[in-house]
């Protein structure tokens, strides 16, 4: 894989062949054939996942892997060209699906090794009929431009023959222009002129054009007349709604019929290796759905095609894919295991892209480190960086790649933590200025507005606390409905949920909270948000919600309340919930301690000094408490706070101190001795390996302590 994609071998492997090889019949980047897994009906493959999982990168890699070897096309349903018609074109004669089919056909038409261009006469005839619905004799230049683009889809020649095809297009356009009348509709004469030209065979492939001219005669209610069929198709398209979807289904079918024609016959098959490949990013958008649904319906109705569709869906579900087969990418590495059912949606195979593994992260960071070493004169990459990067990103390919690039650019300038790498500028393109890495990430992970509101709500823990924040910190017109809308959007885009957090994904939440902290120079919004939540949990249930309130006190740099609570509850609370509260409270975000006016004291992280006992001498525990226990809990809290912070690299000295403090606490609680001892062994190794702290005894061994 030329771009160094990691963790996607189940798709790209050549030996044994991965999913792409088995569907296309060719090994990536090679002309070597591989046996087909599905010889009759193909699954319509949909790669599923949230933002940042590398779906677009996978499709781009697939295009590069097969371009020039077999016909391949790649479109993105979110591209601007699919959002609305050109300024001069009436909306009733344009749709995202029609634009997508034109773009796909133009790419599929390109010559490949051993075979020339593919022509699309059926599709061209249908598209021309649709376009004619928006023509009049007053806009001849536009007619000529639109007709030429459509008719050039028929060109199959190369060299001198392409010139002949160009002259043929000019002749057809002349017929079209001549058919325009001074008044009245122009659709019928234009269709008549087009079919006449096709039937005359005045092009480079007469028989192919004549077959295309008669293909539409089976259109419903056309009575076997291709002309009437195209008039009806144009009329249905202009009508919109279900009528338009009916017409678009025939346009999709026309594209696939043209492709089938290009592979028909012994001679054609001997020159064309593999199957044609259509790649659609953001298939949930109208341009993608308008292709996906007709293909699934036709395949369910027994109308076969041999086109490989590999597409990407944002999220993990869609109504059009209700009965789709479901696999993870590793499960399809050697065999898809897919068989169609009876419904159209069962003709799809939904393949979830997993996050990258710690080993994948290590390789990506190592690659950036090698490039760094070659240009920086020996800047040393911290050994904990790969593990910490994986813990922060959760295996997000986008997050890992951009952080690795930020490390390459900013480690030589003194950036020493993930927080520093996120706030440092990164230049993604050589011809563009850099900007903070966290902003670059958020623009890709949360596009489309509402970023300011989501930034505030990232500090919330559930819908109630989010509504409290919305009422106090967001415009009046946002309110509870805005909270529900953002909740729905996060779910629709595939972001996970997590108990105790409004934004369930830890990586996205960390980026949003970083943006909240840096939103103004004096951190006024940051302090206001956390104070709102402190008041919310204090008013709602001061005892039952103590850990939430203390979490936000700690986020404001006030550790005394948390120390007192953990110290006082240690003797009388079961060990497992006490450890869980410790981890949750200490998961508070930390962005430099600041005074009541929002100013940083000195910009340094003091948690390690507290954890190592360097500040004990300056402490005066209350007279009525066990001073040794008070200081031990204070050191432990700061150790957990520092070691679970996803934006810093773990300090080996602090991990050893964490081990010691938990061992000593285990001596004070005979009933909970085993759990505290287990934590003293697990947590230091979890910290150094970049894993969330596991609460000993929890059923979920991968739990994150409420984070």
Of the ranges 116-130, 307-321, 373-387, 520-534, which is most confident? 307-321
Rounded CA-CA distance 121/209 in Å is 6
Which residues partner with 47 through β-bridges? 312, 351
- Residue 468 pLDDT greater than 60, yes or no: yes
Cis ω before 169 (30° cut-off from 0): no
Both tokens assigned to 532: 């709102």
- pLDDT recorded at residue 50: 93
Weakest-pLDDT range from 373-377, 465-469, 617-621? 373-377
Tell me what the mean pLDDT of segment 182-207 comes to.
Answer: 68
Tell me what the mean pLDDT of segment 177-183 comes to.
Answer: 65
Nearest to 45 by CA among 289, 328, 312, 314: 312
- Find the helix or strand (DSSP H, E) in which 418 lies: helix 418-423
Collect contacts of 83-90 with beta carbons under 8 A, ≥24 apart: 88/139, 88/142, 89/134, 89/142, 89/146, 90/133, 90/134
> Which of the pair, 688 or 155, is modelled with greater confidence?
688
Rounded CA-CA distance 332/345 in Å is 19
Residues 278 and 308: beta-carbon distance below 8 Å: yes
Tell me what the mean pLDDT of segment 578-606 comes to.
Answer: 79
The SS3 of residue 353 is: coil
Weakest-pLDDT range from 99-113, 422-436, 609-623, 649-663? 422-436
Q: Kindly report the backbone phi and psi dihedral angles of residue 131, in degrees, each rounded to the nearest multiple of 5, phi listed first.
A: -60, -35
Cis ω before 16 (30° cut-off from 0): yes
- Find the helix or strand (DSSP H, E) in which 390 lies: helix 385-393
Rounded CA-CA distance 492/489 in Å is 5
Rounded CA-CA distance 524/221 in Å is 68
Which pLDDT band holds residue 701 (cuts at 50, 70, 90)?
very low
- Residue 201 pLDDT greater than 90, yes or no: no
Weakest-pLDDT range from 238-247, 364-373, 543-552, 637-646? 364-373
Q: What is the DSSP string of 564-600?
A: HHHHHHTTTS-HHHHHHHHHHHHTS-----B-TTS-B
- Residue 3 pLDDT greater than 60, yes or no: no
Collect contacts of 495-499 with beta carbons under 8 A, ≥24 apart: 495/50, 495/51, 496/50, 498/704, 498/707, 499/706
Nearest to 606 by CA among 553, 564, 559: 559
Residues 144 and 173: beta-carbon distance below 8 Å: yes
Rounded CA-CA distance 555/526 in Å is 9
Residues 363 and 391: beta-carbon distance below 8 Å: no
pLDDT above 70 as % of the chain: 89
Which residues partner with 600 through β-bridges? 594
- pLDDT recorded at residue 270: 58
The SS3 of residue 49 is: strand
| Cα dihedral 95, 99, 104, 106 sign | positive
Rounded CA-CA distance 540/535 in Å is 8
- Find the helix or strand (DSSP H, E) in which 425 lies: strand 425-426
- pLDDT recorded at residue 1: 40
- pLDDT recorded at residue 164: 45
Query: What mean pLDDT is reported for the chain?
Result: 88
Q: Kindly report the backbone phi and psi dihedral angles of residue 75, in degrees, each rounded to the nearest multiple of 5, phi listed first.
A: -130, 160
pLDDT in tens, 58-101: 999 999 999 999 999 999 999 999 999 998 889 999 999 999 99
Tell me what the mean pLDDT of segment 544-548 comes to.
Answer: 87
Separation of CA 527 from chain center: 32
- Residue 490 pLDDT greater than 50, yes or no: yes
Rounded CA-CA distance 226/216 in Å is 5
Tell me what the mean pLDDT of segment 228-244 comes to.
Answer: 95
Tell me what the mean pLDDT of segment 499-528 comes to.
Answer: 93
pLDDT in tens, 371-395: 776 565 567 788 889 999 999 999 9
Burial track 12-37 (b if 16+ CB lie within 10 A, e otherwise): bbbeebbbbbbbbbbbbbeeeebebb
Beta-carbon contacts of 90 under 8 Å, excluding residues fewer than 6 positions away, are 133, 134
- pLDDT recorded at residue 140: 77
Both tokens assigned to 54: 């590398």
- pLDDT recorded at residue 375: 60
Both tokens assigned to 393: 């990103």
Which residues partner with 328 through β-bridges? 352
- pLDDT recorded at residue 704: 43
- pLDDT recorded at residue 36: 94
């Amino acid at each position: 894989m030329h771009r160094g994609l990691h963790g996607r071998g189940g798709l790209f492997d050549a030996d044994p062949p991965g999913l792409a090889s088995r569907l296309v019949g060719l090994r990536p980047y090679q002309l070597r054939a591989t046996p087909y897994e599905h010889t009759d009906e193909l699954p319509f493959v949909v790669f599923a996942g949230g933002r940042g999982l590398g779906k677009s990168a996978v499709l781009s890699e697939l295009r590069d892997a097969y371009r020039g070897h077999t016909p391949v096309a790649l479109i993105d349903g979110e591209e601007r060209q699919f959002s609305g018609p050109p300024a001069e074109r009436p909306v009733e004669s344009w749709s995202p699906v029609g634009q997508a089919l034109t773009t796909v056909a133009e790419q599929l038409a390109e010559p490949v090794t051993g075979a020339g261009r593919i022509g699309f006469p059926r599709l061209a005839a249908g598209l021309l009929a649709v376009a004619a619905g928006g023509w009049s004799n007053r806009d001849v230049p536009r007619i000529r431009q639109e007709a030429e683009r459509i008719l050039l889809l028929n060109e199959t020649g190369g060299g001198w023959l392409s010139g002949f095809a160009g002259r043929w297009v000019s002749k057809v356009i002349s017929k079209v222009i001549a058919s325009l009348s001074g008044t009245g509709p122009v659709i019928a004469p234009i269709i008549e002129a087009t079919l006449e030209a096709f039937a005359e065979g005045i092009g480079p492939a007469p028989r192919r054009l004549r077959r295309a001219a008669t293909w539409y005669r089976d259109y419903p209610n056309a009575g076997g007349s291709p002309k009437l069929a195209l008039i009806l198709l144009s009329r249905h398209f202009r009508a919109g709604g279900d009528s338009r979807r009916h017409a678009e289904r025939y346009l999709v079918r026309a594209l696939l019929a043209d492709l089938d024609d290009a592979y028909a016959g012994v001679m054609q098959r001997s020159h064309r290796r593999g199957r044609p490949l259509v790649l659609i990013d953001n298939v949930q958008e109208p341009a993608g759905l308008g292709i996906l649904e007709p293909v699934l319906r036709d395949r369910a109705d027994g109308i076969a095609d041999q086109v490989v569709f590999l597409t990407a869906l944002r999220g993990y579900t869609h109504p059009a894919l209700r009965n789709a087969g479901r696999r993870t990418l590793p499960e399809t590495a050697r065999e898809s295991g897919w068989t169609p059912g009876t419904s159209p949606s069962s003709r799809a195979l939904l393949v979830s892209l997993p996050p990258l593994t710690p080993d994948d992260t290590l390789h990506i960071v190592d690659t950036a480190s090698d490039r760094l070493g070659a240009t920086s004169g020996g800047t040393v990459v911290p050994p904990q960086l790969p593990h910490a990067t994986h813990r922060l990103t959760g295996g997000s390919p986008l997050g890992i790649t951009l952080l690795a690039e930020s490390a390459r650019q900013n480690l030589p300038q003194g950036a020493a933590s993930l927080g520093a790498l996120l706030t440092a500028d990164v230049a993604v393109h050589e011809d563009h200025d850099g900007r903070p890495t966290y902003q670059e990430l958020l623009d890709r992970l949360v596009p489309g507005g509402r970023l300011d509101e989501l930034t505030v709500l990232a500090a919330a823990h559930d819908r109630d606390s989010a509504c409290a924040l919305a009422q106090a910190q967001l415009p009046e017109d946002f309110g509870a409905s805005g909270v529900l809308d953002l909740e729905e959007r996060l779910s629709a885009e595939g972001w996970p949920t997590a108990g105790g957090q409004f934004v369930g994904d830890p990586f996205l939440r960390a980026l949003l909270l970083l943006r909240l902290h840096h939103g103004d120079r004096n951190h006024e919004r940051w302090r206001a948000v956390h104070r709102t939540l402190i008041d919310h949990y204090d008013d709602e249930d001061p005892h039952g919600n103590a850990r939430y309130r203390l979490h936000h006190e700690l986020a404001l740099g006030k550790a005394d309340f948390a120390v007192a609570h953990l110290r006082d509850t240690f003797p009388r609370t079961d060990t497992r919930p006490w450890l869980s509260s410790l981890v949750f409270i200490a998961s508070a975000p930390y962005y430099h301690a600041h005074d009541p006016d929002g100013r940083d004291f000195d910009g340094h992280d003091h948690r390690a000094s507290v954890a190592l006992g360097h500040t004990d001498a300056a402490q005066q525990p209350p007279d009525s408490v066990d001073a040794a226990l008070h200081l031990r809990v204070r050191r432990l809290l700061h150790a957990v706070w520092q070691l679970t912070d996803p934006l810093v690299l773990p300090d080996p000295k602090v991990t050893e101190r964490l081990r010691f403090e938990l061992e000593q606490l285990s001596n004070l609680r005979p009933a909970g001795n085993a759990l505290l001892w287990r934590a003293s062994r697990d947590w230091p190794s979890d910290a150094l390996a970049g894993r969330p702290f596991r609460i000993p005894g929890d059923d979920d061994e991968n739990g994150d302590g409420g984070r």
